[in-house]
Chain A
Amino acid sequence: MFSQEVMEMLIKGIGETLYMTLGATIFGYVLGLPMGIIMVTTSKDGIRPNAGVYKVLDVIVNIGRSIPFLILLILLMPLTKAIVGKSYGSTATIVPLVISAAPFIARMVESSLNEVDSGVIEAAKSMGASTMQIITKVMLVEARTSLIVGVTITLGTVLGYSAMAGTIGGGGLGDIAIRYGYYRYQADIMIVTVVLLVVLVQLFQTIGMKLSVRLDKRK
């Protein structure tokens, strides 16, 4: 159907998209997970209430989430260049993806951890658990299925953003869709890339849901 050349390009595109999505999600969690944990811990009903810390994080997260991704992509170019050395290509795209995903992840972690039964946390406290033990041995464990669902949602969202980054030379399937499908009117290539993106999202979703159901011992 397609030439050898196009096939190779598509396979490379899939690889780049996966690389960006997974890379950005991992680093996003490196930033977002602690942020979410600190927000839950310092919130009014948390185990270590601290209005100041909570407010600062809350504002940072809200600002991060309200800047449109495309604008962030451009705004962050100097930072990207400083970290990666260049401002285009898939590795460079990971930087704005991480900055954009982290606040989103923080919110999702916050909401997952807030679902943990306060009675169980109280029980842990009554046993003499420290704040750190409550976080690592109670909250993260009890909320694990919800956290995995969060990862799944994040993967889908980051994948979408990575495709958007393709429009300004970010690489990956989005890049191919724009260059071939849009600029060169090769609708067939565009359709194939879109189908591939759908399949990838579907794949993440299925794996994530299976995993979260398997790990859920509540039913």
Chain B
Amino acid sequence: MSDIEVRHLSKSFELKGETVDALKDINLSIKPGDIYGIIGMSGAGKSTLVRCLNFLERPTEGEVLVGGKDLSTLTEKELRKQRQEIAMIFQHFNLLMQKNVIDNICFPLLLRGEKKADARKRAMELLKLVDLEEKANAYPSQLSGGQKQRVAIARALASNPKILLCDEATSALDPQTTASILALLKDINEKFGITIVIITHQMAVIREICKHVAILNHGVLVEEGEVEEIFNHPKSEAARELILGDISENQWNGETRQKERVLEDKCLRIVFTENSAFEPVIANMILKFGVPVNILKADTKNVGGIAKGEMILGLPEGHELQEQIKAYMVEKGLEIEEVTQYV
């Protein structure tokens, strides 16, 4: 059974008399204990989608089922109760600025009428979990971004949720802090079995912790599946753009001349799996065909805990030769893909 089931969900807004379709016929199914990423460029509708999962936004059409319950059938009161099981963290943390750390974490507990002493006890446990015990009496303005997000995570966990929605939770943080927050989320997922839904525009975040991913483009879900599968064989243009965009963003600094070359030449993107990393395929290929290939990029990445090799080759000219090279690589068990717009 799925934890979250989205069926034919559409959402449109009225904006200055015009109807804007933010989401179009989205179907999703998220399993309990999963870490599920939803990625897309800004304006793709991901923030709207995640708000439909706890009905902060009501879908125009379609259903959202959480733990088998159709959210649209709930009364206002039932919905508020349901939301205690669906915690959420945000890009800008959204802590109460006039309350100190411990009171912020107590807040959801006091909202549902728990005793102050009990709430404080639980809050201290959570502070320990997020490693911020010494900041219990500090105010949010005295904390760094990463610390604020840790407080927000502790606050989200206070009500023992089954699901944690993360709306661009690491987008306002630097890479090191992002890594530590993601590690914390992973830890929480493993320790408590909480289903985590991550909204992001950063492929690196998806690669780091997600098991499944959905790619959203202009309000349409264009691709969905296991992170590894989509990373190795992106089918949609949007997925390819996100994966390659991420590579160039992270690793490709300068070298415009080479970059231009890439645009002109025929390039191949090769993915090595565990099996193919042993044989010196490229060296053998060069020996066999007697022509040089240009290695434009080579990299190993951690995809869902498995080391993945990736390489981009600029092929020598000549259509026939290129076809032969491709056939050779396929024969050697490599996963290849032609890349024309490697930017």
A interface, CB within 8 angstroms of B: 117, 119-120, 122-130, 133, 137-138, 141-142, 144-145, 215-219
Which listed residue, A128, A137, A145, touches B81 by the CB 8 Å rule?
A: A128
Taken residue by residue from 72 to 108, chain B's Cβ proximity to chain A (1 for < 8 Å, 0 otherwise) reads as 0000000011111011101010111111100000011
Which listed residue, B87, B92, B98, touches A141 by the CB 8 Å rule?
A: B98
With an 8 A cutoff between CB atoms, is B141 at the interface?
yes
Cβ–Cβ < 8 Å partners of A137 in chain B:
107, 110-111
In the complex with contacts A141-B98, A142-B96, A217-B97, A123-B88 CB distance below 8 A: yes
With an 8 A cutoff between CB atoms, is B116 at the interface?
no
Closest to A145 in B: B98
In the complex with contacts A120-B94, A137-B111, A125-B56 CB distance below 8 A: yes
Q: Evaluate contact between B54 and A126: CB separation under 8 angstroms.
A: yes
B interface, CB within 8 angstroms of A: 54, 56, 80-84, 86-88, 90, 92, 94-100, 107-108, 110-112, 139, 141, 159, 165
Main SS class of interface, A: helix
Ordered by A's residue number, 23 sampled pairs between the chains whose C-beta atoms are within 8 Å are A117-B97, A122-B56, A123-B90, A124-B107, A124-B111, A125-B83, A126-B88, A127-B83, A127-B108, A127-B111, A128-B81, A128-B83, A128-B84, A130-B80, A138-B96, A141-B98, A141-B99, A142-B96, A142-B98, A145-B98, A217-B97, A217-B99, A217-B141
Name the distance in Å between B96's Cβ and chain A's nearest Cβ: 6
Name the distance in Å between B110's Cβ and chain A's nearest Cβ: 8
Cβ–Cβ < 8 Å partners of B98 in chain A:
141-142, 144-145, 215-218
Which listed residue, B99, B100, B111, B165, touches A128 by the CB 8 Å rule?
A: B111
Name the distance in Å between A116's Cβ and chain B's nearest Cβ: 9
Name the distance in Å between A171's Cβ and chain B's nearest Cβ: 39
Q: Evaluate contact between A120 and B141: CB separation under 8 angstroms.
A: no
Q: Evaluate contact between B83 and A126: CB separation under 8 angstroms.
A: yes
In the complex with contacts A119-B94, A122-B94, A144-B98, A129-B88 CB distance below 8 A: no
Q: Evaluate contact between A129 and B92: CB separation under 8 angstroms.
A: no
Closest to B141 in A: A218
Q: Evaluate contact between A117 and B94: CB separation under 8 angstroms.
A: yes
Cβ–Cβ < 8 Å partners of B95 in chain A:
120, 123
Cβ–Cβ < 8 Å partners of A217 in chain B:
97-100, 139, 141
Q: Evaluate contact between B56 and A127: CB separation under 8 angstroms.
A: no
Name the distance in Å between B81's Cβ and chain A's nearest Cβ: 6
Q: What separation, in Å, do the CA atoms of A137 and B113 have in the docked complex?
A: 13
Q: What separation, in Å, do the CA atoms of A122 and B56 have in the docked complex?
A: 8
Q: What separation, in Å, do the CA atoms of A124 and B107 have in the docked complex?
A: 9
Q: Evaluate contact between A128 and B112: CB separation under 8 angstroms.
A: yes
Q: Evaluate contact between A133 and B111: CB separation under 8 angstroms.
A: yes
Q: Most B CB atoms within 10 A — which of A122, A126, A129, A145?
A: A126
Q: What separation, in Å, do the CA atoms of A180 and B110 have in the docked complex?
A: 58
Name the distance in Å between B115's Cβ and chain A's nearest Cβ: 16
Q: What separation, in Å, do the CA atoms of A216 and B92 have in the docked complex?
A: 20
Cβ–Cβ < 8 Å partners of A219 in chain B:
141
Cβ–Cβ < 8 Å partners of B112 in chain A:
128
Name the distance in Å between B13's Cβ and chain A's nearest Cβ: 13
Cβ–Cβ < 8 Å partners of B87 in chain A:
126-127
Q: What separation, in Å, do the CA atoms of A46 and B206 have in the docked complex?
A: 34
Cβ–Cβ < 8 Å partners of A145 in chain B:
98
Q: What separation, in Å, do the CA atoms of A74 and B318 have in the docked complex?
A: 98
Q: Most A CB atoms within 10 A — which of B97, B112, B139, B165?
A: B97
Q: What separation, in Å, do the CA atoms of A46 and B107 have in the docked complex?
A: 21
Q: What separation, in Å, do the CA atoms of A137 and B312 have in the docked complex?
A: 56
Q: Evaluate contact between B97 and A142: CB separation under 8 angstroms.
A: yes
In the complex with contacts A218-B141, A219-B141, A127-B159 CB distance below 8 A: yes
Closest to B80 in A: A128
Cβ–Cβ < 8 Å partners of A119 in chain B:
90, 92, 94
Q: Evaluate contact between B84 and A218: CB separation under 8 angstroms.
A: no
Q: What separation, in Å, do the CA atoms of A71 and B314 have in the docked complex?
A: 86
Q: What separation, in Å, do the CA atoms of A133 and B84 have in the docked complex?
A: 14
Closest to A118 in B: B94
Closest to A121 in B: B94
Closest to B139 in A: A217
Cβ–Cβ < 8 Å partners of B90 in chain A:
119, 122-123
Cβ–Cβ < 8 Å partners of A130 in chain B:
80
Q: What separation, in Å, do the CA atoms of A129 and B177 have in the docked complex?
A: 30
Q: What separation, in Å, do the CA atoms of A124 and B97 have in the docked complex?
A: 13
Q: What separation, in Å, do the CA atoms of A137 and B108 have in the docked complex?
A: 11
* Extra contacts besides A125-B56, A126-B54 (10): CB < 8 Å: A117-B97, A123-B94, A127-B87, A127-B111, A127-B159, A133-B111, A141-B98, A141-B99, A217-B98, A217-B139
Name the distance in Å between B4's Cβ and chain A's nearest Cβ: 15
Cβ–Cβ < 8 Å partners of B54 in chain A:
126
Q: What separation, in Å, do the CA atoms of A142 and B94 have in the docked complex?
A: 12
Q: Most A CB atoms within 10 A — which of B80, B96, B141?
A: B96
Q: Evaluate contact between A218 and B97: CB separation under 8 angstroms.
A: yes
Which listed residue, A125, A133, A141, touches B96 by the CB 8 Å rule?
A: A141
